[in-house]
Amino acid sequence: MKYFLITILLFSFSLNATTIHVGKNYPIKSVKEGIALTKDGDTLMVHGGWYKEGNIIIDKKIVFIGKGLPVLDGEKKHEVLSIKSDSVVVEGFKVIKSAYATITDPCGIKVYNSKYVIIQNNVLDDNFFGIYLQNCQKCTIKNNRLKAYGKDEQQLGNGIHCWKSNDILIIANTIDGHRDGIYFEFVYDSLIWRNISVNNVRYGLHFMFSHSDTYITNVFRNNGAGVAVMYSKDVKMFNNTFEENWGDSAYGLLLKDISDSYIFNNKFISNTSAIYVEGGSRNKIEKNQFISNGWGMKIQANCMDNEIVNNNFLKNTFDISTNGSLVLNTFNNNYWDKYEGYDINRDGVGDVPYHPLSLFAVLVESNPSTMLLYRSFMITLLDKSEKVLPSITPDNFIDNKPLMKPLPL
């Protein structure tokens, strides 16, 4: 919101600002001609119609408004709209059919080296990349709908792609069918809030080398590999929903070499692995719900100083899995629906510690084909025996204060 107000102030500096109309019922019928007639601070109003004008470039501080959802068509030959100025607003367009090229990455809308750009209330359909920010600051992408139709990664770009940028707001967009729904690389101090990212071929959200970012109240559903946060630190993840991300290499949330981050009050529902952590350190995972996943959490032996507290683990095939015997992380005050202990003093905490890592989970991690024996009498007997006399599972992989009832999250 603050960036929107700043932009409005910038546009109001000139008392001579005018509105220029483009459309079949107006003297100016070409978008490019209309842009050429504008000056900083003007508004270009494009009325409903179908505009096939190749690559449209905005290199002035203008408000670019569509009325009646005019269509900007790249005809699969061009980048449709290129923004090369600060303080531009783009609103109310349907942007379709950008070119396809793996080297130049043509887009529906691409912003180059700019500040205070606002892209809102647009429809982007059948583009290679949807919206692309390159070396930008203090820009807002809000309330856009993006849809792509490719079948594999090579045919698709990302829905919202941000590279080498900071102070970016990504708010209330819907992204469907791209390679990655939202992609951040070298992006700092930015917010991803209230977006829906579904049916993307690879990740619903993909972070790389991006620090001090926050994503809140987003939905990531049915993406090929879920969500990945890699080589980043100080990332905050609050109130998001990760659901129905299934596949051999699919996760609700993949954390690869991430540190000093906070994962709070999220829902992980029906994923192959709700959270997979590799090389993570000093992260806090608190008050999340893990429901009906294959694995609630896979935390590899190279992770350390992570704190997993006050979470609910419900109806997961395996609550926890790991690939080694070294345990340098803390589990406390979680609710485990498989816990069979007792609470004599009725303080709500089990009097017997809980070992969430089952013998069968250890066997499956080392030999996946043993999953064929799941629910067999022999495996049930092994797990029951392991609970009585732990021998193979790490004895320090333990929740010393398991809760007797689920937390009201």
Q: 55-64, 125-134, 173-182, 295-304: which range is least confident on average?
A: 295-304
Residues 6+ apart with CB under 8 A from 329: 299, 303, 304, 305, 306, 307, 308
Q: What is the model's pLDDT at position 12? A: 52
Q: 160-164, 267-271, 397-401: which range is least confident on average?
A: 397-401
Per-residue model confidence as pLDDT tens digits over 16-54: 789 999 999 999 999 999 999 999 999 999 999 999 999
174: β partners = 145, 196
89: β partners = 63, 118
Q: What is the model's pLDDT at position 250? A: 85
Tell how strand 191-193 and strand 43-47 pair up: unpaired
What average pLDDT does range 187-211 have in this prediction? 97
Per-residue model confidence as pLDDT tens digits over 216-226: 999 999 999 89
Q: What is the model's pLDDT at position 52? A: 97
Q: What is the model's pLDDT at position 17? A: 83
Q: 26-30, 79-83, 360-364: which range is least confident on average?
A: 360-364
Residues 382, 376: Cα–Cα separation, whole Å: 10
Q: Is the pLDDT of residue 13 over 60?
A: no
Q: What is the model's pLDDT at position 370? A: 63
Tally of CB atoms within 10 A around 102: 10
Q: What is the model's pLDDT at position 9? A: 44
What average pLDDT does range 142-156 have in this prediction? 92
Confidence label for 6 from pLDDT (cuts 50, 70 and 90): very low
Please state the φ and ψ torsions of residue 8, each to the nearest 5 degrees: -60, -40
Q: What is the model's pLDDT at position 272? A: 92
What average pLDDT does range 240-258 have in this prediction? 92
Q: Is the pLDDT of residue 3 over 60?
A: no
Domains belonging to the chain, first-starting first, are 1-224 (2.160.20.10)
DSSP structure class, residue 138: S
Token output for 32: 């490019």
Look at 14 and 289; give whichever has higher pLDDT: 289
Q: What is the model's pLDDT at position 324? A: 78
Confidence label for 271 from pLDDT (cuts 50, 70 and 90): very high
Mean pLDDT, the chain, rounded, equals: 91
Return the exposure string of 274-306: e unless at least 16 CB atoms fall within 10 Å of the residue's CB, then b.
Answer: bbbbbebbebebbebbbbbbbbbbbbbeebeeb
Per-residue model confidence as pLDDT tens digits over 317-343: 999 988 877 778 999 999 999 998 999
Rounded to two decimals, the pTM is 0.90
Confidence label for 253 from pLDDT (cuts 50, 70 and 90): very high
Q: What is the model's pLDDT at position 148? A: 97
Q: What is the model's pLDDT at position 355? A: 86
